[in-house]
Structure 1
């Protein structure tokens, strides 16, 4: 005998294979007794005489129109107590109801942040209201769930169960787009499942549209899977689906985050060739990326083009990125002027306005607050980060206290910034306490937070503790970045275990997790030279130059300090050798930097080196073009 279709059975059946068995019963109020006293008092009373003795006339039941009017009235804006009372009244009628009554209620539950009640109402439609749900109701539930923080873990299990229970459901493209959006939503996207679901769309006779592709491309871009994202963009165009501006915006944002400005510029040009004019969001992405890399002049030129050529008006995000860049460069006065222009034009600052500084930055914060800006977690995090960078950790702690008191919860970036400030101030105990607090608050550690913790521990000589954190990081599937690798390598070398540092370094290059920079190389150079392993250090230097990683001042100082007294000439030969090899590989700017370092140390290069540098600069394409133009002008004058 099949089990009865009561509320309790429906709930347990719905979530039997998921992580919601321990939900409190009040998540699914079904009767008046389940509601709290406050809900009962705040419910709008229903007129019983509207529904007394409903009469049927053909296929129409008297009272359906009244129910529909009340549903529409209570659903926009959502009046949850009244809707619950109305559903209880409908249950008591024990008769079939038309489907059009339920989608507005489901959407109201979603707007009110009650996705579990939306799921439960869909479950109740057949057993309690004798209404077989259609794809329209299914999509209404998915739309409500997608807007909730638990969408990635709710939408797909619900969809799979609904299809299994209601065989008449025929999912359409909107259904799959909503599920893909939930699976791709941060903070924990399920990309393998999303890609598998995406591949199952064409066999169902459906054709993915621009929204389908854009959702997946944006998720791949957010997780730094740029090669896969570009491959999907190519597939999208081969399928005859024209990309939208939003498709390119997510790719631009990911590329700019890596600092590859040239590739971002090429993509922007490709976007124009494909007939996608840049939108305000496109310009804001480009301006923010340029400002992050201190390319303010180019950002200003882009804003001019945005206004003059495309007729777009800068908004608070545009100005905010500009203020952020100015503050980071120490141009507080200019940042204040831009902020004043924003106020004059009626543009209010938002979370995009960030500040790094000390007293001037705090003044800018005060002006923003007085201007009516309501701080959110991004704005608070920016202030905490700026204070931590200047070792004003006590002030950063006060900001987090005000943040919490204002009902805004710190996120993993907030805690990471504070932890970094504590380490930089030499207070590792408080840094570890901050880490513990972050985990207790439910913030999942990410790549940045792990790197800060490893760097701080290894910087204090606690290499074993740093290695424990490293293993924990890897076991959780979090890929180490170059900062974490460098910190661990430096810690191992300082502890005298240079071989372990070398193994980790080569492991980094073999895995391709991160590209070693000069700082990572310098950590190994220092360890090798202190261990009197000069040959290995020179071999590693050769490898560094072959990988087009330019040495910096620290590199030169490490090798010069490793020379014995009276071996200054060897130091000159070493640096001149670097210059020659860099010139051969076309690294002219890096070679010029080494020449400047030699001059600072009164180790002036020989004439042959100067000759190579001058020859290299004159062979540069831009210089040759200018020289050709000059000779062209001279020859024209001679002809005249």
Structure 2
């Protein structure tokens, strides 16, 4: 009896241990199934089995739930969000970071990533860690949510994470995307450690904000510590295109061929930036050289060539690239393609062809014309003296015309001397839709063509009274690796002075 009494308490203890072992083994089997999971249908079966056979009170169940959340976040975000809100009790930092990352990566859920971060703070059970911030900052950058981004920066500083290189890279990206270049530069300058990504993000921010000279300077500083990779080369090519710096662009091209991997040298994106750089710098032969040697081409490749040749008045080659694109099969012209094609027709004064391509765009390819397409067509017609037809196009547009369209017609009126009433009406429309001196200058030119000198003087007086100054034209040219800008009205400068 004494023995029995002494042993009796051990029976339920043994059963509990056995049950715990069985439960742990069961969790391991489910985890193994999750690791082998390849589809959402498979995951849903495992999820259902988990709900039926596990207890939410067991510590291993939370780990299973985080694995289910992780898989569903990669393949079915809506399912992941439902699972997170209904099945994960007291989520840990991994669960929060997983769902925040998934929303930040989605093009339609970025606002939700910021809200989830806010909820994490409000619940107070979990402190954000270094993995929490990069994706929330990415969402803020996409949404241009600078106020929320500044608050995140304050949280980062408060938590002592301001020296983390990944977080700082995300902060630079945020400030650069929101046009806060000084803030981006301050974060960059104060970083105790920089990676190649840090330099790439800073250079990209400068290029994005058209600070091309500073971008090139930053690139040169980068080379003292790191080899340039594909991302840096892409940014530098865009800077060269913006500056018209052909020699530096050619150096970047040579760098890609000599120093980078064959995969990068044949990368479509890199080659597209090369095409853009050569076209904008006016080196169309070099652009053709790159184009013909490209292993793979996408729609952007063809669009770049069409726009590049159209920009320099090479109308027939531009239209030939459209024909080659269609004949090559597999690629369909898009809205940007026809912007280039219509621009080519405008430069070449090809009225009939312009009309045909405009109709082809809508009838064969089902592309809804945007303001840029209408602008090209109106300008084409107006330059050809077809003012009435141009006005007819404007009156039938389903979208409101901007100042560029009205100015196209006004410019044509100033050159042809067509209808003073029409010219005055066009000038009024331009003044209503935009600021600047363009409309006043064109209207005074209309009056000058008609020899109405009193009206010319009146327009000039209005410009003086309103403080409207004629904006000088600006051109740039690269000489011996240095880009020089020239403004209309400046004194002539000899090559020796340059």
* TM over 0.5, shorter chain: yes
Q: Any idea what the Cα deviations from partners look like across 1:111-157, whole Å, max 9, x if unmatched?
A: xxx464873574375389979773323333444455x5xx4xx1331
**Residue 50 of structure 2, aligned match among 112, 118, 126:** 126
C-alpha contact (below 8 Å) 1:455/1:488 kept by paired residues? no
Q: Which residue of 2 aligns with 1:190?
A: 109
2:149 aligned residue: 233
Distance 1:597 1:163, change over 3 A: closer
Indicate the residue corresponding to 1:288 in structure 2.
204
Q: 1:127 to 1:182 in 2, by over 3 A?
A: closer
Q: CA deviation at 1:535?
A: 1.1
- Determine the C-alpha separation between the residues in 2 that align with 1:116 and 1:300: 47
CA distance in 2 between counterparts of 1:182 and 1:526 reads 51
- Residue of structure 2 in register with 1:433 after alignment: 326
Query: Is contact 1:498–1:528 with CA below 8 Å preserved after alignment?
Result: no
Q: Deviations over 1:203-222 (max 9, x none)?
A: 65556837556534423533
Question: Could you list the runs of 5+ residues in structure 2 that have no partner in the other structure?
Answer: 1-14, 346-353, 476-485, 492-498
Larger RCO (CA under 8 A, 6+ residues apart): 2
TM-score (norm 2): 0.61
Partner of 1:496: helix, strand, or coil? Answer: helix
Tell me whether 1:248 sits opposite 2:171 in the alignment. yes
Residue matched to 1:417:
304
CA distance in 1, matches of 2:269, 2:226: 24
C-alpha RMSD of matched pairs (Å): 5.6
Match of 2:480 in 1: none
Mapped pair 1:181 → 2:101? yes
Q: Is the aligned partner of 1:450 residue 2:335?
A: yes
Matches within 5 A, 1:358-373: 366-367=257-258, 373=264
**2:79 aligned to 151, 157, 166, which one?**
157
User: Measured at CA, do residues 365 and 144 of structure 1 come closer, stay the same or move farther in structure 2, by a change above 3 Å?
Assistant: same
CA 1:253–1:265: 2 relative to 1, 3 Å: closer
1:638 is aligned to none
Deviation at 1:367, TM superposition (A): 3.6
Normalised by the size of structure 1, how large is the TM-score?
0.50
Cα deviation, 1:335-380, whole Å, max 9, x if unaligned, reads 565x5xxxxxxxxxxxxxxxxxxxxx5x666445777746334224
Pick closer, same or farther for the CA change 1:399–1:298 going to 2, 3 Å: same
- Matched residues in 1 for 2:487 and 2:275: separation? 37
Match of 1:172? Answer: 92
Do 1:213 and 1:233's aligned partners in 2 also have CA atoms closer than 8 Å? no
Aligned to 1:97: 25
2:269 pairs with 342, 366, 378, which one?
378
| Structure 2 counterpart of 1:461 | 355
Which residue matches 2:425? 536
CA drift at 1:58:
4.8
Post-superposition offset of 1:252: 3.5
Query: In structure 2, how many angstroms separate the alpha carbons of the residues matched to 1:236 and 1:538?
Result: 48
Does residue 460 of structure 2 align to residue 567 of structure 1?
no
Deviation per CA, 1:194-242: give whole Å up to 9, x if none: 56655655565556837556534423533xx42xx11322444677875
Cα deviation for residue 185 of structure 1 reads 2.0
Q: Secondary structure at the match of 1:536?
A: helix
Q: What 5-or-longer segments of structure 1 have no aligned partner? A: 1-55, 65-94, 256-262, 340-360, 405-409, 440-444, 475-479, 510-515, 601-640
Shift of 1:189: 3.4
Report deviation, 1:486: 3.8
Q: How far apart are 1:416 and its partner, in Å?
A: 4.2
Distance 2:292 2:490 in 1: 47
Contact 2:69 2:83 in 1 (8 A): no
SS at match of 1:134: helix
Query: Residue 158 and residue 61 in structure 1: after superposition, are their counterparts in 2 closer, same or farther (change >3 A)?
Result: same
Please give the per-residue CA displacement for 1:1-48, whole angstroms capped at 9, x wherever unaligned: xxxxxxxxxxxxxxxxxxxxxxxxxxxxxxxxxxxxxxxxxxxxxxxx
- For 1:416 and 1:535, the matched residues in 2 are separated by 37
Instruction: Report how far residue 96 of structure 1 moved.
Output: 7.4
Distance 2:105 2:426 in 1: 46
Indicate the residue corresponding to 2:411 in structure 1: 526
Count matched residues.
Answer: 427
Distance 2:462 2:227 in 1: 47
Question: Which residue of structure 2 aligns with residue 83 of structure 1?
Answer: none
Distance 1:318 1:160 in 2: 40
Match of 2:18 in 1: 59
Distance 1:277 1:427, change over 3 A: same
CA distance 1:540–1:378, change in 2 (3 Å): same
Does residue 1:138 correspond to 2:39, yes or no? no
The separation in 2 between residues aligned to 1:598 and 1:575, in whole angstroms, is: 21
Q: 1:245, CA displacement in angstroms?
A: 1.8
